[in-house]
Amino acid sequence: RYLAARLGAAVLLLSTTTLAQAQDDLDTVRRYFAELTSLQAGFHQKVVDADNILQQVSDGQMWIQRPGKFRWDYETPYRQQIISDGKRLWSYDEDLEQVTVQLIDKVLSATPAMLLSGLQPVEEVFDMKAIPAAEGLLHVHLQPKSDDSNINEIHLYFVNEALTRIQALDGFGNTTTFDFTGLLRNSDLEARLFNFEPPPGVDIVGETD
């Protein structure tokens, strides 16, 4: 009976410690985004389908100025720019010589871009849950609260409280992974990064007014 009581106390202590650690992890993530004003990094993007078959690999650079402005320059395998000026989302495909324009609040929803750009506080858009991880690694699972997102879930990975990876699972079973390198957080970014002027002669599709 004494041994059982000691085991019960140990299990309770472990459970309490685990819950406390999970809460600390969630607080760390909330603080990270609450204090985030800008972010720039290189990225490596990989997309696999529901059968874990590789579909696409891309590399490029990204810049984020919160709230609402961001720029993703894809350099390989095709050159493409995705730029938000805070009101519109511009997608420029150099090979197709085409620009697609959409109002930002109609397209982002509960996506990694929305999460990073800070249009809404993270806890207003997602249910958050900390996942046990190896020492030094922080892993948080995000579930969109709204049903109108094509993203089913997002996983965030932090090393030493720095965001190093985002994984997003969409409604088709595809998983998109972003690995970041050379992260610079809360540095001064030039405003011109988020201004887009369509090159002469390209086709423009969408809402420009």
Contacts 24+ apart (CB under 8 A), 99-103: 99/198, 99/202, 99/203, 99/204, 99/205, 99/206, 100/205, 100/206, 101/204, 101/205, 101/206, 101/207, 101/208, 102/206, 102/207, 103/207
Tell me the C-alpha distance between 92 and 196, whole Å.
9
The pLDDT tens digits of the residues spanning 7-42 come to 454 444 444 446 677 788 898 888 999 999 999 999
- Residue with the two structure tokens 């046990």: 132
Tell me the C-alpha distance between 108 and 151, whole Å.
10
Q: What is the CA radius of gyration of the chain?
A: 20
Higher local confidence (pLDDT), 191 or 125: 191
Q: Which residues contact 79 (CB under 8 A, 6 or more apart)?
A: 94, 95
Average pLDDT of 113-119? 79
pLDDT for 83: 93
Tell me the C-alpha distance between 8 and 168, whole Å.
39
What type of residue sits at position 114? M
Tell me the C-alpha distance between 184 and 195, whole Å.
21
The pLDDT tens digits of the residues spanning 64-90 come to 999 889 999 999 999 999 999 989 999
pTM for the model stands at: 0.84
What single-letter DSSP state applies at residue 1? Answer: -
Residue 81 backbone class (left: φ over 0; alpha: ψ -120 to 50; beta: rest):
beta
The pLDDT tens digits of the residues spanning 132-161 come to 877 778 999 999 887 767 889 999 999 988
Nearest to 142 by CA among 152, 157, 128, 163: 128
pLDDT for 208: 65
Average pLDDT of 93-119? 82
The pLDDT tens digits of the residues spanning 169-188 come to 998 999 999 999 999 999 99
pLDDT for 1: 55
pLDDT for 104: 84
Tell me the C-alpha distance between 2 and 95, whole Å.
74
